[in-house]
Structure 1
Amino acid sequence: MRFSAIVSGSKIPNWILRIKESATNGKWLEVISHYGEMRKAGFQTVDVSVFPPILEAWSFLSHRHGKSLHACLIKQGFDSFTSIGHSIMGFYIRCGDLDIAVDVFNYMVRNRDSVSWNILIRGHLDNGALVEGLWWFTNARVTGFEPNTSTLVLVIQACRSLRNKHDGLKLHGYVIKSGFWTISSVQNSLLSLYADADMEFARELFDEMHEKDVISWSVMIGGYLQWEDPQLALLMFREMVSVLGLEPDGVVVVTVLKACASSRDLCAGRLVHGLVIHRGFNCDLFVENSLIDMYSKCNDSGSAFKVFNEMSRRNNVSWNSMLSGFVLNENYLEALSLISSMKKEGVEADGVTLVNILQICKYFVLPFHCKSVHCVIIRKGIEANELLLSMLIHAYAKCNLVELAWEVFVRMKRRDVVSWSTMIAGFAHCGKPDEAIAVYQEMNKELEKPNSITIVNLLEACSVSAELKRSKWAHGIAIRRGFASEVIVGTAIVDMYSKCGEIDASRKAFDQIPSKNIVTWSAMIAAYGMNGLAHEALALFAEMKQHGLKPIPVTTLSLLAACSHGGLVEEGLSLFISMVQEHGFEPGFEHYSCLVDMLGRAGKLDAATEVIKMMPDNLKHGGASIWGSLLSACRSYGQTELCKEAISRVLELEPLNSAGYLVASRMYASDGLWEDAARMRVLAKEKGVKVFAGYSLVHIDDKACRFVAGDESHPQIDEIHSVGQQLHDCFKIDEKRNICQLLNANPTHQVVVDS
């Protein structure tokens, strides 16, 4: 016994020191190992300071052994010590057993102190039980409890997370009365709370602060950005950098770059980039990724790629940011090249990568690649990603694989308003308005509320069907849902009625839009042009300019199309020249194509050929449709030699498009060159070119009926033939050529029959 006592006296302090030292270094296995050795040797200690580190170690290693130690402490009566009670509470809180921690706290009714309250309140807040944590804080205040700074900061953060402005105001009063107001961490926590709830309150508080550190400024800059006021965020940053002795950190720089991206302020973004280089933040991966994002959103993908190329190291965010930038700026070839580089570097594609790849598939119409991405989604097990699946549905539909899009949609475990809207748009795009409308009706049954995009897609489906009754029904839905006054929906209504041939309803809808943008005016101009009212389109354009609006490319295209269909060649040429000279307009491929079509319809084939030759080289790669327009004009006006050149160009640029083969075959046939006509059709067949018949729409009892030449299947075919005969009888023989041109230009023409 005497020897044992001596050993106990020399060994126990060493074990205790080892346990505490291991705990300080976070070596929890060593803590338990030393404690186990001490127990095996049969030694016990009355030094209660050894148990807190052991309980902490068990909280990381074994919940069950920690509970056993708790039982031992109760048996030995050590649980009556306040420090042991605190350690037991901490053990259960770290294990997530908040109810047991509360039981321990209640048991400590006689010897609990401010530390006890702090542990309980912090425990609930750290574990995400914010409401309960605030409730305990209120109870503690009734007993006269004074929190420490870290607990008070957590309480303020809890009010911020719960968007509890009322309790935040009460806390603000308590902070001032209790003397915590001078502590910067408390001030910044209150500032963050107000920045989330009300920026006017935040600004008042910010102005009252005597000492503002980097965090204070960062909170204000981030607050303005969060409340969608990037200009004020940038102004706040300018104020910050003018303060002597205050240097922005990486977090501030990233927030400011987001503000530049949000406001599309490329000039400010470049200045911040200079600051990044000057302060040495260009080695910060987070900052570099933000620079790529900023340049991309400011439509400067070249500078974004330069930043990307100069990065010493990259992560998935870097690659995805650059890829998203290329896609956003429609640099699809560069995007494809980057995807190839990602594959070579062994960068694994994630959800963001796949979304961008699907965007590329949509643009180039790559059905096989869509299927490949679908396989990757299944293989990676990321089918729960709703955004990715919605993009897959959209890509399938754009690639005319709407049946596959429907299969993806049906199998989705959860459908949100985006997926429903995308499916409606998919059916509308593929010329299946009945299915699109059926999806909308099913969406209503599922009690999923539509948004403005849903309504726009529904209106688009009705415009495809070209049925006036349906269109009025959709218009009524837009009004009842409160979306008709929104400019995007109002513009879609204008477009829908114009495609139904109801130009008066289109103009009425246009006049009812409270705040029209340039797209709305362009849609109404296009509506007039589509319905053969070229003079009205030009008059509306003049009215638009009186409102101080400058035309955009789509406006010019609509005007040129109106002049083309209305035979206003001089007006169209004058308009084209004025756009270039007065407005600094850079014509795109579509504008040149429309100009060639206009000249070709008027028989000015030499001028049309000259326009094609003067086109910029970067636009000539897509010139098949331009040569196609010229080909149609040559056929109409009997220009055989020029026609042959146009045929050669069309077949060279678009060898898989049926239009070129058909027009060429008809031209040869009209000249009696039957062998050449047959050769065109054989060539199309050998290349596997699919021929899609043109169709017409006839309205009978407000229902649009689609038919093709020679189709005798419609139950009211006699009435359709009767209308056709009436048209032929009404026009003179020498006008036949103009009628043919009109029908060729608008194959989906509409004739209304009053039954």
Structure 2
Amino acid sequence: MGAYGLRCISISYVTTIFQNPVSHFSTLSLKSHLRKGHLVDLKEQFVSLSSNGYIKEAFDFFVPKIWEEPNLFSHLLQACIFRKSMPLGKQLHSLIITSGCSSDRFISNHLLNLYSKFGDLQTVVTLFDRMPKRNTMSCNIMIKAYFQNGDFESAYRFFNEMSERNVATWNAMVTGLTQFEMNEEAMLLFSEMNDLGFMPDEYSLGSILRACAHLGVLLAGMQVHAYVMKCGFVFNLVVGSSLAHMYMKTGSMQEGEKIIKSMPIHNVVAWNTLIAGKAQNGYAEEVVNHYCLMKMAGFRPDKITFVSVISACSELATLGQGKQIHTEAIKSGVSSVVAVVSSLVSMYSKCGCLEDSVKAFSECKEPDVVLWSSMIAAYGFHGQGQEAIRLFHQMEQEKLQANEVTFLSMLYACSHSGLKDKGLEFFSLMVDVYGLKPWLEHYTCMVDLLGRSGCLEEAVAMIRDMPVRADAIIWKTLLSACKIHKNIEMARKIAEEVLRIDPQDSASYVLLSNIHAAAKSWQDVSEVRKAMRDRRVKKEPGISWLELKNQVHQFSTGGKSHPMSVEIELYLEELTSEMKFHGYVPDTASVLHDMDNEEKEYNLAHHSEKLAIAFALMNTQEGVPIRVMKNLRVCSDCHVAFKFISKIKNREIIVRDSSRFHHFKNGTCSCGDYW
């Protein structure tokens, strides 16, 4: 059969295989599309159709033209990428081979790009090896293909072996390295690229700014900012958003916000950058406000938006608002995205709704290691260590590789459930079996685990022997254990360690003062308080809050700023009398001042969490669970009182303090008095 006959068969074959394109318009609207395009020749019409995804229409209409200009194949290949159709791409590849165009370097590069975009690295390598003629573009596509498939070593080797590079080569390398968090290498390469006079594009500039953000190098980021201004990219959406992200990530919130506001136009990426920056810097309320402004401006939130906003609801512990945003995520079609589900698990957990966390986790079809770790952390936060262990073993059965965060969640769960031996097992498993290097946070969990169980000397030895430098937090963790076990001498030494690192840390003074007060060493309490005054250290006030009818009510210890403060005080008096009738005895030993018992009892009765719960009892229906959040640790007297209240009033009381959740029900607490 001659070449003409072979071509006719090919034409007939491809006309048949393109029978089911994605048709956004009818035949009539297609003709209108052609008329309104102001196109002057068939080639332009072919390009227009193929670039808009009309593969079958383009092929049917322009078959004769293809054989005269084989380069038109490139537009069909691009259309396959646009349509995300690998089968059509492979069929076109067959036609290209049949037509004798496979040796054309221009078309071969487009084929390389096609298989690269669809992640078929083996075919990309095979095609590249068979190309009779290659150019720099061919090599650039290979670099991108290696990076896309996670083989950065081959990409680096390929780059080093290239005899000729262009600006696209350098940009591909810088962008690819940052994708694998090889940020320092990317910055060195960017510097070399600049020295050689190559101009970065918007994507490599955006990547290098993200590298500066991850490394926390503000000065280097500012230097890139100056370079951005010099290159004229300052108003580019990609670069502008990356620049703002860099400033926010390195703590310069105002500068980042100023850049976003100076951009002439905004898109979803810009809004997400601003919202994520607010979330990362602790401006949870502003996150929710900007989320509302984003919607009012006509932009549709995406999965990245919802991750930030749901995380903000976690910090605010606003369950009603969190549920509302969950509903909006469902309507937007992103509620099943794993990153969003992880945020939902965390949000419901931090709002005291562990059951909803379990529900969100169980409904996810393909949970990743981040989601598993989030669920394990949720169990640990609520003191359900055994459930966390069960989930870890289930995760292993699913052949998912636990990472440092997973083990951190496990150690936390063991620590807050009194599972000392299990915690030691998991630490050993992490180091000896999984080969993971412990972070300072892992050692802090282990010190907490040992300290809570009374092994204070072992905890000190671990701090002394660990390969990373101790910070104030790990010493404060041990100081808290000294308070539990009333070890005054060790507490004094540890307090010195904390205050040497952070002389302004109010929590350490308070802990030490608590220890002396418990031992009725009032002279030592006075000395600690005098040291605080001399160093102008202020104690963080106790604050509790709860959400009622979509409104957040806040209470401070001894405060009378709430509109119902008089009614709350009267109700507390009646409630305290009722509790005493059922056997409640105020724990006056936890009061830090030398005063008579009546004054101590009054002081205890006006703790912020008691005020919040009294308000909730007055303003909610019987049987409705009460959820209260507190910025500090719940005191021992409040802990006892809430057990009495839960039984007397037949209410479930859920309290989140700075350390964990307490679920009070029928006179008992979920922590088993181990917190």
Q: TM-score, normalised by structure 1?
A: 0.63
Q: Tell me the CA shift for residue 169 of structure 1.
A: 0.8
What secondary structure, in the 3-state scheme, does the structure 2 residue paired with 1:610 have? Answer: helix
* Residue 313 of structure 2: aligned partner: 462
Aligned partners of 1:514, 1:486: CA distance in 2, in Å?
10
* Residue 313 of structure 1: aligned partner: 196
CA change 1:535–1:300 in 2 (3 A) is: same
**1:206 aligned to which of 69, 73, 93:** 93
CA radius of gyration, larger in: 1
* Residue 452 of structure 2: aligned partner: 601
Aligned partners of 1:222, 1:503: CA distance in 2, in Å?
47
Q: Give 1:258-657 correspondences, 5 Å limit.
A: 258-276=144-162, 280-281=163-164, 284-301=166-183, 304=186, 307=189, 313-315=196-198, 317=200, 321=204, 324=207, 327-328=210-211, 332=215, 335=217, 338=220, 348-350=226-228, 382=234, 385=237, 388=240, 392=244, 399=251, 414-422=265-273, 424-425=275-276, 436-616=287-467, 619-620=468-469, 623-655=471-503, 657=505
* Residue 137 of structure 1: aligned partner: 41
What secondary structure, in the 3-state scheme, does the structure 2 residue paired with 1:513 have? Answer: coil
Aligned partners of 1:165, 1:675: CA distance in 2, in Å?
83
Q: Which one-letter code corresponds to 1:136 in the other structure?
A: V
What secondary structure, in the 3-state scheme, does the structure 1 residue paired with 2:200 have? Answer: helix
Structure 1 window deviating more from structure 2 (639-648 vs 532-541): it is 639-648
Structure 1 window deviating more from structure 2 (699-708 vs 672-681): it is 699-708
Aligned partners of 1:751, 1:575: CA distance in 2, in Å?
26
Aligned partners of 2:484, 2:337: CA distance in 1, in Å?
44
Aligned partners of 2:532, 2:315: CA distance in 1, in Å?
30
Q: Tell me the CA shift for residue 607 of structure 1.
A: 1.4
CA change 1:463–1:400 in 2 (3 A) is: farther
Q: Tell me the CA shift for residue 444 of structure 1.
A: 3.9
Aligned partners of 1:462, 1:480: CA distance in 2, in Å?
18
Q: Tell me the CA shift for residue 351 of structure 1.
A: 6.5
Q: Which one-letter code corresponds to 1:677 in the other structure?
A: V
1:559–1:572 contact (8 Å) kept in structure 2: yes
CA change 1:401–1:273 in 2 (3 A) is: closer
Aligned partners of 2:448, 2:104: CA distance in 1, in Å?
65
CA change 1:170–1:543 in 2 (3 A) is: same
What secondary structure, in the 3-state scheme, does the structure 2 residue paired with 1:613 have? Answer: helix
Aligned partners of 2:539, 2:265: CA distance in 1, in Å?
39
Q: Which one-letter code corresponds to 1:168 in the other structure?
A: A
Q: Tell me the CA shift for residue 627 of structure 1.
A: 1.5
Deviations 1:183-211 (A, max 9, x none): 55444455445554444333323333324
2:383–2:661 contact (8 Å) kept in structure 1: no
Matched, 1:216 2:107: yes
Q: Give 1:61-100 correspondences, 5 Å limit.
A: none
Q: Which one-letter code corresponds to 1:297 in the other structure?
A: Q
Aligned partners of 2:432, 2:108: CA distance in 1, in Å?
47
CA change 1:725–1:568 in 2 (3 A) is: farther
Q: TM-score, normalised by structure 2?
A: 0.70
Q: Tell me the CA shift for residue 578 of structure 1.
A: 1.3
1:320–1:352 contact (8 Å) kept in structure 2: no
1:484–1:490 contact (8 Å) kept in structure 2: yes
The Cα RMSD (Å) is 4.4
Aligned partners of 1:602, 1:255: CA distance in 2, in Å?
58
Counting matched residue pairs gives 561
CA change 1:163–1:134 in 2 (3 A) is: farther
Q: Which runs of 5+ in 2 are unaligned?
A: 1-32, 591-632, 640-654, 667-675
Q: Which one-letter code corresponds to 1:205 in the other structure?
A: L
Deviations 1:384-428 (A, max 9, x none): 7486368648955985968x9888777776443344445555665
Q: Give identity over the alignment, percent.
A: 25
Deviations 1:436-472 (A, max 9, x none): 4444444444443222223333323333332433333
CA change 1:516–1:596 in 2 (3 A) is: same
- Between structures 1 and 2, the one with greater helix share: 1
2:447–2:474 contact (8 Å) kept in structure 1: yes
Q: Which one-letter code corresponds to 1:293 in the other structure?
A: T
1:697–1:751 contact (8 Å) kept in structure 2: no
CA change 1:505–1:680 in 2 (3 A) is: same
1:698–1:752 contact (8 Å) kept in structure 2: no
Aligned partners of 2:172, 2:239: CA distance in 1, in Å?
22
Aligned partners of 2:161, 2:249: CA distance in 1, in Å?
46
What secondary structure, in the 3-state scheme, does the structure 2 residue paired with 1:473 have? Answer: helix
* Residue 10 of structure 2: aligned partner: none
2:206–2:239 contact (8 Å) kept in structure 1: no
Q: Which runs of 5+ in 1 are unaligned?
A: 1-128, 139-151, 354-379
What secondary structure, in the 3-state scheme, does the structure 1 residue paired with 2:545 have? Answer: strand
What secondary structure, in the 3-state scheme, does the structure 2 residue paired with 1:550 have? Answer: coil
**1:170 aligned to which of 60, 68, 75:** 60
**1:237 aligned to which of 124, 127, 139:** 124
Q: Tell me the CA shift for residue 577 of structure 1.
A: 0.9
1:393–1:409 contact (8 Å) kept in structure 2: no
Q: Which one-letter code corresponds to 1:609 in the other structure?
A: V
Q: Give 1:664-683 correspondences, 5 Å limit.
A: 664=512, 666=514, 671=521, 672-674=523-525, 676-682=527-533
Aligned partners of 1:460, 1:317: CA distance in 2, in Å?
35
Aligned partners of 1:315, 1:702: CA distance in 2, in Å?
55
Q: Which one-letter code corresponds to 1:165 in the other structure?
A: I
Q: Tell me the CA shift for residue 158 of structure 1.
A: 4.1
CA change 1:408–1:667 in 2 (3 A) is: farther
CA change 1:240–1:205 in 2 (3 A) is: same
Q: Give 1:157-196 correspondences, 5 Å limit.
A: 157-175=47-65, 179-180=67-68, 184-188=70-74, 190-196=76-82
Q: Which one-letter code corresponds to 1:509 in the other structure?
A: A
2:213–2:247 contact (8 Å) kept in structure 1: no
* Residue 705 of structure 1: aligned partner: 553
Deviations 1:470-489 (A, max 9, x none): 33333333333333222222
Q: Which one-letter code corresponds to 1:388 in the other structure?
A: G
Q: Tell me the CA shift for residue 172 of structure 1.
A: 4.2
Q: Which one-letter code corresponds to 2:112 in the other structure?
A: I
Q: Which one-letter code corresponds to 2:139 in the other structure?
A: V
Aligned partners of 1:720, 1:518: CA distance in 2, in Å?
46
CA change 1:541–1:668 in 2 (3 A) is: same
CA change 1:444–1:656 in 2 (3 A) is: same
CA change 1:628–1:323 in 2 (3 A) is: farther
CA change 1:394–1:752 in 2 (3 A) is: farther
Deviations 1:339-375 (A, max 9, x none): 68x59xxx9431699xxxxxxxxxxxxxxxxxxxxxx
Q: Give 1:736-755 correspondences, 5 Å limit.
A: 740=635, 746=658
1:669–1:677 contact (8 Å) kept in structure 2: no
Aligned partners of 1:381, 1:451: CA distance in 2, in Å?
26
Deviations 1:270-313 (A, max 9, x none): 4423542xxx12x5454244334333433445654665676661
Aligned partners of 1:398, 1:495: CA distance in 2, in Å?
25
Deviations 1:58-90 (A, max 9, x none): xxxxxxxxxxxxxxxxxxxxxxxxxxxxxxxxx
